[in-house]
Structure 1
Amino acid sequence: MPRTVSHPLFARLYPRINAFAEAHGSLDHRRELLEGIRGRVVEVGAGAGANFRHYPEHVEQLIAVEPKPRLRALAERAAGDAPVPVEVQTGLAEALPVADGCADAVVLSLVLCTVPDVAATLAEAARVLKPNGEMRFYEHTVSPRPRHARLQRMLDPVWRRLGGGCHLARDSERAILDAGFAIERVRRFDFRPNGRRNPSSPMIIGEARPSRAILERAEA
């Protein structure tokens, strides 16, 4: 399995897209995502390292995994300004380059919409977590509004092509539950950076922990 992914146009545009989102509210989302997180953390699909500066001082080590070379280079640059120790690694969400049960927390930030295999990604998150570990997630998702969801499904093929493989109509919350995680906290909201709802507006931020079923499978 290759360890890198190439979406050169999207990787070139993404820092500008992220800067626009941060200027209109996503900075607060990132702070909310990471509030109180501690210990050894694995961030899956770290992109250009936009989360790095928001990790609290209680984080002992951050292992940031990113498959896109251009974004990974930006993440390595961002790591130098992070308030916590950051190690940027090459790897895929479906095959994380870290040991079983090594992480106090796993962070998924705008990742589940893009990965080719959501179930495998979440299985990897469960694999690397300690039994008492937590998974933090910040994702856009399919709309609970039927009309908006239909629009998302209609636009999905074009959106994927332009957005580096990003899917509009994935139900990220349901995928987390189906993977065997117990969601302890979730906030659902529309992110409207220009004041209007757009195809990717429906968002979730929350925290989940491995369920008993996941822990039993790991022990088997």
Structure 2
Amino acid sequence: MTPDQKGHKWFASIYDSMTARAERTFMKDVREEIAGGARGRVLEVGAGTGANFPYYNDQTEEVTATEPDPYMLQRARRRAEGIGRSIILNQASAEHLPFEDASFDTVVSTLVMCSVGEPLRALSEVRRVLKPSGELRMYEHVRYEHAFGAFWQDLITPVWRWVGAGCHPNRDIAAAVREVNRSRGRASSSGATLL
């Protein structure tokens, strides 16, 4: 069992209140764009407490969500029930998605790849389950391009990993997406959108 599958009970219990201000301000717009733009058969990887759930609209045929942390998954289940939306929930890590190849039209990932154990493997799994014409809709922490910002990210990461249940705000997720696209024979991010 991975640390995520054991769970972060304390972090799950404070996550929604800790992020409430961000959710009322800029994250609302982010979630409207990322989740609200999802179409067809949707997979949300790392659903956390289900903060994206209210933003999925009629353009989605079916929404399936994965979350490895059982405490976060409990809260996601309550949120889905609270909004009256049918969402299929699975306890699974992003590195080991229990789905057939090319089975989703859209994959949604918000603030997830900073916390997974193996980002390249997780992104490869996302690419595997995404249809060739599908779309990856992401919002992630990204590594600063300028040295000063990157220095501060590197400085806070050891503490933030502990506070934020494994979050590494200094990961270069954009480079990881490009690497997975190259390894899958795609020179660009066609078929996937990194927002």
Q: 3-state SS of the aligned residue for 1:131?
A: strand
Question: Taking structure 1 as the reference length, what is the TM-score of the superposition?
Answer: 0.79
1:5 Cα deviation from its structure 2 partner = 4.1
Q: Deviations over 1:7-27 (max 9, x none)?
A: 222222211122121123210
* Alignment-derived partner of residue 19 in structure 2: 18
Does residue 170 (structure 1) correspond to residue 171 (structure 2)? The answer is: yes
Q: 1:33 & 1:41 partners in 2: Cα distance?
A: 12
Q: How does 1:1-220 map to 2 (within 5 A)?
A: 2=2, 4-82=5-83, 85-180=86-181, 182-183=188-189, 207=193
Opposite residue 58 of structure 2, the aligned amino acid is E
**d(CA) in 1 for partners of 2:80, 2:156:** 35
Partner Cα separation in structure 1 for residue 7 and residue 37 of structure 2: 33
SS in 2 for 1:100: coil
18-27 vs 70-79, greater mean Cα deviation: 18-27
Separation in structure 2 between the aligned mates of residue 91 and residue 71 of structure 1, nearest angstrom: 12
Conservation of the 8 A alpha-carbon contact between 2:44 and 2:64: yes
* Aligned-residue RMSD, C-alpha: 2.0
- Report the AA paired with residue 95 of structure 2: E
Determine if contact 1:43/1:63 at 8 Å carries over to the other structure.
yes
CA contact (8 A) 1:56 1:84 kept: no
Long gaps (5+) in structure 1: 186-205, 209-220
The answer on whether the counterparts of 1:94 and 1:121 sit within 8 Å (CA) in structure 2 is yes
Structure with bigger helix share is 2
Whether the aligned pair in 2 keeps the contact of 1:107 and 1:136 (CA below 8 Å) is yes
Asked if the contact 1:49–1:74 (Cα under 8 Å) also holds between the matched residues in 2, the reply is: yes
Question: What amino acid does structure 2 have at the position aligned with 1:107?
Answer: V
- C-alpha deviation, 1:84, in angstroms: 5.0
Q: Is the 8 A contact 1:55 1:83 kept in 2?
A: no
**How far off its partner does 1:119 sit?**
0.6
What is the total number of aligned residue pairs between the two structures? Answer: 188
- Between stretches 28-37 and 113-122, larger displacement belongs to 28-37
Task: Classify the secondary structure of the residue corresponding to 2:78.
Answer: helix
Percent of residue pairs identical = 38
SS of aligned partner of 2:5: coil
Q: Counterpart of 1:179 in 2: which secondary structure?
A: helix
- How far, CA to CA, are the matches of 1:107 and 1:69 in structure 2? 20
More strand by share: 1
Q: 1:56 touches 1:83 (CA, 8 Å); kept in 2?
A: no
1:130-157, CA deviations, whole angstroms, 9 ceiling, x for partnerless residues? 1111111011111123111101101111
